[in-house]
Amino acid sequence: MVDLGEIVREESARYLQTHYASPVRRKALQDISECRTEARGSKTAECDDCGEEYQLFCSCGNRSCPLCGGEAREKWLEAREQELLPVPYLHIVFPVPRELYVLALYCQRAFYDAVMRAAGQAVMDVGRSALHLQLGCLTLFHTWTQTMLWYLHVHCAVPAGGFSPDRSRWQPFDPRDLPAKALRKRFGQLLCRALQEAARKGKFVGLPPTVRIEQLLVRVRTRRWKVYAKPPFGGPQKLLEYLAQYMYRVAITNERIESYENHQVTFRCRVSAGSSDQTLCTLDAQKFVDRFLMHVPPKGFVRARSYGFLGNRNRKQNNEHAVQLIGKARTPPSREPFKPVRLCPACAAKRGMRRTHFAPAPEVEPQFDLPLRPPPVGPIAA
């Protein structure tokens, strides 16, 4: 089975000779090429079934690696499920106008931060002005399509209710009461204002002379911004499971890669958004690596953020206060708590689990009894 690591090992040297790659992207290529191979070494683990010790190749831990992040994703999902309020939720999506994508080419960190803040603040402002409530939301930034092209947008999970201005009451609202027109208008205002402020502070000094913030903003202000706001299919828990897929996930997984031959990569992708029908897409391997690196996040960029009463500072206290005001018990998660499984090759084969990161047992060098050489005889300094 072909995986991303094999493609990177074969193509990264040629790619770096002909393309510029930032340090964080170079590190991603190196980590992915070495992940769970002899280059990373091995460690000893104990099987949960038989108790035997076995060797595992060490993983790289890079958040752009498709082999890593599975346990972190499950733990993140479990923590967010514990914070779910016993109310309906609203799923809001803020797409970024394509005219602004050029900013992500040169000043990725500053642009992504501005988009995240604008989306979260738009929900807070519209909730305060239209519903007279203090809302809370969980936001997550997503950058790719099924063919690994750019589609920059922010997902928001919003409880359908909020605190009254004096925080003495919990006021529910129908998801349709949060006006999408006001959301897209406020999102556009906040994003344009944030980009102007970032440019004033010199955060876009990396832009070429042909790209000017003022011209881009004039162009996007005249267009109609888009916002999607609907109740999630399957309820709040399904919404969190959907968001968790993008929290610790990369633009393509190894399961979607069909073949890699003659510097051509073929992978599966959906025909259209929301469709279950799939088709095959073939790209030149250098183009494939280039598209993949487009979605490596900048160093230190936080992909998931919380706003309003779900903000990190007082999230636990606000969450408990909301449950008390709602007066309903939390619904426990329907699935079992996550527990990582550690299995040796034999037990994994019995369960029908395919593992590819088992390492051979380390060779133990024979020990020889070497005679000790007596210390030199000489005068001792006073």
The predicted pLDDT at position 371 comes to 55
CA distance 260 to 84: 43
Q: Which residues contact 30 (CB under 8 A, 6 or more apart)?
A: 12
Tokens of 346: 């034999």
How confident is the model at residue 323, as a pLDDT? Answer: 92
Q: Which two tokens stand for residue 345?
A: 């090759």
pLDDT at 69: 84
* Structural domains of the chain, with CATH: 70-251+295-326 (3.40.1310)
pLDDT, tens digit, 9 for 90 and up, residues 232-289 = 988 899 999 999 988 887 889 899 999 999 999 999 998 776 666 789 999 999 999 9
Strands (E), the chain: 42-46, 53-57, 89-95, 136-144, 150-159, 161-163, 170-172, 228-230, 257-261, 264-270, 278-284, 304-308, 358-359
Question: Three-state SS for 125?
Answer: helix
Q: Which SS3 state, helix, strand or coil, does residue 39 take?
A: helix
Residue 92 token pair: 């809001």
Return the bridge partners of 134, or none: 163
**Residue labelled with tokens 């609907």:** 230
Which of the 8 DSSP states describes residue 272?
A: S
Residues 6+ away with beta carbon under 8 Å from 195:
100, 103, 111, 114, 204, 213, 216, 217
A 10 A CB-CB count for 29 gives: 23
pLDDT value for 336:
72
Backbone angles phi, psi at 146, to 5 degrees: -65, -25
- The answer to whether 322 and 170 are in contact (CB under 8 A) is yes
For residue 372, what pLDDT is reported? 54
- The residue behind tokens 């000043």 is 107
pLDDT of residue 366: 47
The pLDDT score that the predictor gives to residue 250 is 85
Give residue 382's pLDDT. Answer: 42
Query: Beta-carbon neighbour count of residue 200 at 10 Å?
Result: 10
pLDDT at 274: 62
With beta carbons less than 8 A apart as the criterion, state whether 292 and 251 touch. yes
Half-sphere exposure at residue 219, Cβ-oriented, CA atoms within 13 angstroms: 11
Give the pLDDT of residue 267: 95
Segments of the chain scoring below 70 in pLDDT = 273-276, 332-334, 354-356, 359, 361-382
